[in-house]
Amino acid sequence: MTEKRTAYINARLLNPESGLDAAGALLTEGAEIADLGPQLFADGVPDGIETVDCSGHCLSPGLVDMHVHLREPGHEHKETIATGGLSALAGGVTSLCSMPNTDPVIDNVALIEFVQRRAREAKGVKVFPFAAATKGLDGKQLTEFGMLAEAGAVAFTDDGLPVANSQVMRRALSYAKTFDLMISQHAEDLSLSGCGCMAEGEVATRLGLDGIPEISETVLVERDIRLVEHSGGRYHVAHISTAEAVDCVRRAKARGLSVTCEAAPHHFSLTDLDVGDYRTFAKMAPPLRSESNRAAIVEGLKDGTIDAIATDHAPHDQESKRLPMAHAANGIVGLETLLPLSLELYHGGHMTLLELLRRLTLAPAELLKLPVGRLRKGAPADLLLFDPDVPWVVDTAKFRSMSKNSPFDGRPVQGRALRTVVDGRTLFTAGT
């Protein structure tokens, strides 16, 4: 049986790997990219090939989100692998990494296989699972890294909780080094955070709320970098949020250490002022910080200190969020706002479109050694067609996610996914 061929013509091709930014066309054959370039189909598309006219819009690799909470198993009333996948596709995400803080915790081979099976059944976005670094996320006993990696785990983390014990973290970095896999850390000293429910500062004081100091992040990042220096392991700071932590990573990179980090859109597009009068939809971990910290995240993305942009998509039901600030759950949904919020960096003149797309596609793929995030012959036909300029207003009621907990509801934005393609199959089209 002849594999289906599709020609994407009149496109602005954007490929961060090669630096390509030019008008042209791309051909998919089955699940792969067969050809691309400015001269492709210059004499027209041959018969027998389906044609998609991109009308001058941007055609790039599909987005790769390396930090997503899908809630399955155990919290399917908040999100499932299937519904999270639909939300991802609507946001232009073709590959994502699922976090292990489910119920039960994804700390064994059977649960890695469960996530993979459920993703295959959904026949949508590609799901690459992270496994827990410690059993039950208890921070004490390491999981079986080798067996989990063989089963398909692409990295290890206790995300939602830090690996607080220094000896355990030292062993985790050394153990993961054996398999050339990464340890991702939720960098927070809980003894310093205490009962805080937003960033320490003027806003928390005015609201009469316990604050989380910036040092709670910095202390753990500094400690972990010392452990990386000792062990030689690969270390990644999840959802980095403070200027000092960014500086720590910057200095570590300058010393040649295997230290990387990611930032979430809410940490470069919002501040603690957006908590307003006890807006629990703006409560997250790490919390929204001051303007100086927000600006430092933008600067870290500009100069390459921050390697990737990831959503930390964290769905919650209304009952978990509509509580007093101190008791409300942490986290927001982010898959469907990833692209427009990230494009604010482009529209604001902070980054070129290619630089931005690198942090959304190629960089996370390279960090995790995934065969995605690229436009090249033979690569998976995971594509995003998007308009970077179209204005719209975020409406959480229209989200594909089961949960609607976003502080961006009603925010005017620019840029939207028009078509999302996974392995050559169109799985999302705007307006449908």
Compute the distance between CA of residue 204 and CA of residue 284 in angstroms, rounded to an integer. 14
Instruction: Assess whether 210 carries a catalytic annotation.
Output: no
Strands 412-422 and 383-393: antiparallel
Which regions of 83-167 does DSSP assign to beta strands (E)?
Answer: 93-98, 126-129, 155-157
- In terms of Cα–Cα distance, which of 216, 323, 336 is closest to 265? 336
CA–CA gap between residue 367 and residue 375 (Å, rounded): 17
Catalytic residue among 107, 159, 224, 312: 312
Residues near 112 by Cβ (< 8 Å), separated by ≥ 6? Answer: 106, 129, 131, 148, 151, 152, 153
Residue whose pair of structure tokens reads 């039901």 in the numeric block? 317
Instruction: Give the containing element (helix H, strand E) for 223.
Output: helix 215-231
Choose among 430, 432, 425, 429: nearest CA to 125: 425
Nearest to 418 by CA among 11, 41, 64: 11
* CA 396 to mean position of chain CA atoms: 19
User: What tokens does 414 get?
Assistant: 């620019």
Active-site residues, by number, are: 312
